[in-house]
Amino acid sequence: MALRQVLGRGLQLSRGLLLRWGPPRPGPGPVRLPAPGAAWPLLPARYRFFRESVAGLAGRLRRQLLGRMAPRGLSLAFGLGLALLEQGLEEQRQAASACRDIQTIFIRKNKPQKDPLSSSRWQGFKLDEYLIGQPIGKGCSAAVYEAAIPFLASCKGKVDSKGIQSKDAGVTQWDPSSVTKDVEENPIQVNQQKAAFPLAIKMMWNISAGSSSEAILSSMSQELVPASGSALSGEYGAVVCPRKPVFEKRRLRPHPNIIQVIRAFTSPVPLLPGADVDYPDVLPSTLNPSGIGNSCTLFLVMKNYPCTLRQYLRESIPDTRLGTMMILQLLEGVDHLVQHGVAHRDLKSDNILVEFDSAGCPWLVIADFGCCLADEKIGLKLPFTSWYVDRGGNGCLMPPEVVTAVPGPGVVIDYSKADAWVVGAIAYEIFGLCNPFYGKGKSALESRHYQEDELPSLPDNVPVDVKQVVKMLLQQDPSKRLSARVAANVLHLSLWGENILAPKSLKLDKMIGWLLHQSAATLLMDGLVDKSSVEIKMKRCFFANLEYEDLWEAAFLFLSWRSASL
């Protein structure tokens, strides 16, 4: 809004105030300007100001406001103030509208992940429809195996004479005894064999849920929170209707930083490779006479990822920019959970999976929802009435507001910023340091009673704004802690928006111009470069979650931290 328009609007507002609350209007006759020192009459209907220059008008107003400040002068000043306020509000409305338009475009671009098992010839709701390979990992409640789809594997041609497929002879079973020998003789061939298993099957250990499908699905319903819409079709036919009343769990929409369960079904427990050595006690008595497991359990089919975050960090330390992008991905995933009223409650580097784009940049995916809070009725606020209420897993990374909670009538644990706190702790691992809340000794901290100034310093090459984000995520008081959304926006600005914030001043028009430029460039690059590019995917997530208030708060924090560091 131009200065002339602001002044005109201010005069209109002040005239309205005078007409409403001022003295009666004078009778007909010429309107004369008052003598110096006399009171000003009502403003005439025809403004002389519009026939003067802007500079002359500004000088007249300045003299009027700095003079006696007569009541009519105060009304004029108040009207001008309202006009300036209206100008700021209009700019904010325009900025918020631009953010909503950009968000709408990228929400449409972020389509749900394509189901890799979608095929008219194959369903995948039975265990014997998969080829099971070697064990990938084992936790406290499940074992994970690599798996493949037989007809897809046979279409790809021959991989190995002892492998899962043969173009001429048809599909055969995988021979586990050949793995050790193959590693010694031909490691390249082993990599090809592993690439032939694009899926992972998680077999839950069923000790107390019984053997009926209904009891199993109800008891292990937390594992089904990230399930796709068709994941349970093999059990119920139509999944949308029965799921909510049966499980009473929230359903997550697909997100690129959240694991997706593409098939879930119950089946008898088989004797899989390594089962009699790795977990014999949880097998059913039909497979192990001393086993205490039930005969049926839940199986979850997911994408097979190369490694966990812990495994990746054992082999390499990402540089500063790469580490910032990794923290950003975790924050985007946690923000998606919060938006859907879900708290993971067991976030750690072992439960974060990693894959790589064509440039070798890691892409992080949050997995293992067995301890999550996803109740339709209570949301993120858990009534903590007794010590028997489950507060989640991993005591070392339990946020302060959770670990210090004392049960009682009316006590509620708010998990809205709990996972964001854990991301702050994992950031130390990403930047090559020990997690300050792991281990024992003087260097280890306890989330119950640590002080913020006891947190170790991040490496010197980490940008100030990234350090401040980690520090603010690890605030003991949740009300002072950054939300995952605002923290993610700060890191987005740190990675890609520093140019607009370089002048140390924040202007809405420059911010909106930058958003429009970046969104247009992202749309163009989306069709020119590999869509698996981590940078492109992160920008799409940013624009799909774009909110004016959160972005403005993040920009203000970014500038204040940069200014304080100079």
Q: What pLDDT does residue 329 have?
A: 96
Beta-ladder partners of 258: 366
- In the three-class reduction of DSSP (H, G, I as helix; E, B as strand; rest coil), residue 483 is classed as coil
Contact between residue 109 and residue 544 where contact means Cβ atoms under 8 Å apart: yes
Choose between 36 and 279: higher pLDDT: 279
Give the pLDDT score at 508: 73
Sign of the dihedral defined by the CA atoms of residues 230, 236, 241, 243, in that order: negative
Inform me whether the pLDDT recorded for 64 exceeds 70.
Answer: no
Helix (H) or strand (E) holding 414: strand 412-414
Burial class (CB in 10 A: 0-12, 13-18, 19+), 149: buried
Say how far apart CA 432 and CA 303 lie, in whole Å.
28
Q: Which two tokens stand for residue 103?
A: 């968000």
What integer pLDDT is reported at residue 323 of this predicted model?
Answer: 95
- Give the confidence band of 150 by pLDDT, cuts at 50, 70, 90: confident
Highest mean pLDDT among 114-123, 334-343, 371-380, 437-446: 334-343
Q: CA–CA separation, 19 vs 42, rounded Å?
A: 8
User: Residue 122 has what pLDDT?
Assistant: 65
Size (the chain), residues: 566
Confidence of residue 242 (pLDDT cuts 50, 70, 90): very low
The pLDDT, as a whole number, for residue 102 is 81
Q: Identify the residue with better confidence: 247 or 446.
A: 446
Query: How confident is the model at residue 180, as a pLDDT?
Result: 35
482 burial level (CB within 10 Å; 0-12, 13-18, 19+): buried
Q: What letter represents residue 146's amino acid?
A: E
The amino acid present at 3, given as its one-letter code, is L
Tokens matching residue 101: 């338009």
| Residue 529 binned pLDDT confidence (cut-offs 50, 70, 90) | low
Under the banding of pLDDT at 50, 70 and 90, the label for residue 238 is: very low
Rounded average pLDDT over 135-141: 89
Q: Taking a C-beta distance cutoff of 8 angstroms, is the pair 382, 415 a contact? A: yes
pLDDT of residue 16: 55
CA dihedral 251, 237, 296, 248 (to 10 degrees): 30
What's the pLDDT score for residue 81? 54
Task: Round to whole Å and give the CA distance between 72 and 11.
Answer: 11
pLDDT on residue 179: 36
pLDDT at res. 415: 96
pLDDT tens digits along 184-199:
344 334 344 456 789 9
Q: Hey, which residues does 145 pair with through a beta bridge?
A: 135, 201
What gap in Å lies between CA 265 and CA 273, rounded to an integer? 20
Determine the Cα–Cα distance for residues 442 and 434; give it in Å rounded to an integer: 13
In this structure, which amino acid lies at residue 53? Answer: S
Average pLDDT on 178-182 reads 38
Above 60 in pLDDT, residue 37?
Answer: no
Question: How much is the CA Rg of the chain, to the nearest whole Å?
Answer: 31
Determine the Cα–Cα distance for residues 553 and 559; give it in Å rounded to an integer. 10
Q: Which helix (H) or strand (E) is 145 found in, with range?
A: strand 142-148
Q: Which of 116-125, 320-329, 534-543 has the highest mean pLDDT?
A: 320-329
pLDDT at 344 over 50: yes
Q: What is the pLDDT of residue 245?
A: 39
d(CA 169, CA 154): 10
Q: How confident is the model at residue 239 (pLDDT cuts 50, 70, 90)?
A: very low
What is the residue whose two structure tokens read 């992160």?
A: 538
Across 21-25, 226-230, 283-287, the highest mean pLDDT is recorded for 283-287
The pLDDT value recorded for residue 5 is 58
pLDDT tens-digit profile of 326-338? 999 999 999 999 9
176 phi and psi angles, rounded to 5 deg: -65, -30
Q: Is the pLDDT of residue 166 over 90?
A: no
Which one is catalytic: 276, 278, 319, 346?
346
Can you tell me the distance from the alpha carbon of 206 to that of 284, in angstroms, rounded to the nearest whole number? 9
Output 161 or 453, whichever has higher pLDDT: 453
Categorize the per-residue pLDDT at 294 as very low, low, confident or very high, splitting at 50, 70 and 90.
Answer: very high
DSSP state of 383: E
3-state secondary structure (DSSP) of residue 110 = coil
Q: What is the pLDDT averaged over residues 5-14?
A: 55
Residue 185 makes CB contacts below 8 A (sequence gap 6+) with none
Give the CA count within 13 Å in the CB-facing half-sphere of 81. Answer: 8
Cβ distance 299 to 127 under 8 Å?
A: yes
pLDDT band at residue 520, thresholds of 50, 70 and 90? confident
pLDDT band at 505 (very low <50, low <70, confident <90, very high): low
Q: Using CA atoms, how far apart are residues 530 and 510, in angstroms rounded to an integer?
A: 30
Residue labelled with tokens 């950031």:
427
Which of 222, 256, 260 lies closest to 342, judged by CA? 222
Task: Return d(Cα 373, Cα 350) in angstroms, integer.
Answer: 19
The question of whether 460 is a catalytic residue gets the answer no
Residue 331 confidence (pLDDT):
97
Residue-level pLDDT at 511: 79
Beta-carbon count within 10 A of 47 CB: 14
pLDDT band at 203 (very low <50, low <70, confident <90, very high): very high
* pLDDT above 60: residue 541: yes
Return mean pLDDT, the chain: 77
Question: Which tokens go with 188?
Answer: 């390249």
pLDDT confidence of 113, banded at 50, 70, 90?
A: low
Cβ atoms of 357 and 534 within 8 Å: the answer is: yes
Whole-number Å distance between alpha carbons of 262 and 300: 8
Structural domains in the chain, CATH included, are: 1-19+40-88 (no CATH), 127-149+198-304 (3.30.200.20), 322-565 (1.10.510.10)
Ramachandran angles phi, psi of 192, nearest 5°: -65, -40
Among residues of the chain, what percentage have pLDDT more than 70?
A: 68
Per-residue pLDDT of 359-377, as tens digits, reads: 889 999 999 999 999 988 8
Q: How far apart are CA 297 and CA 219, in angstroms?
A: 11
**Stronger pLDDT, 234 or 501, i.e. the higher one:** 234
In DSSP terms, which residues pair with 113 in a beta bridge?
Answer: none
State how far the alpha carbon of 482 is from the alpha carbons of 121, 131, 538, 539, in Å.
49, 45, 20, 21
Distance CA 294, CA 211 (A): 6
For residue 72 the two structure tokens come to 């009519």
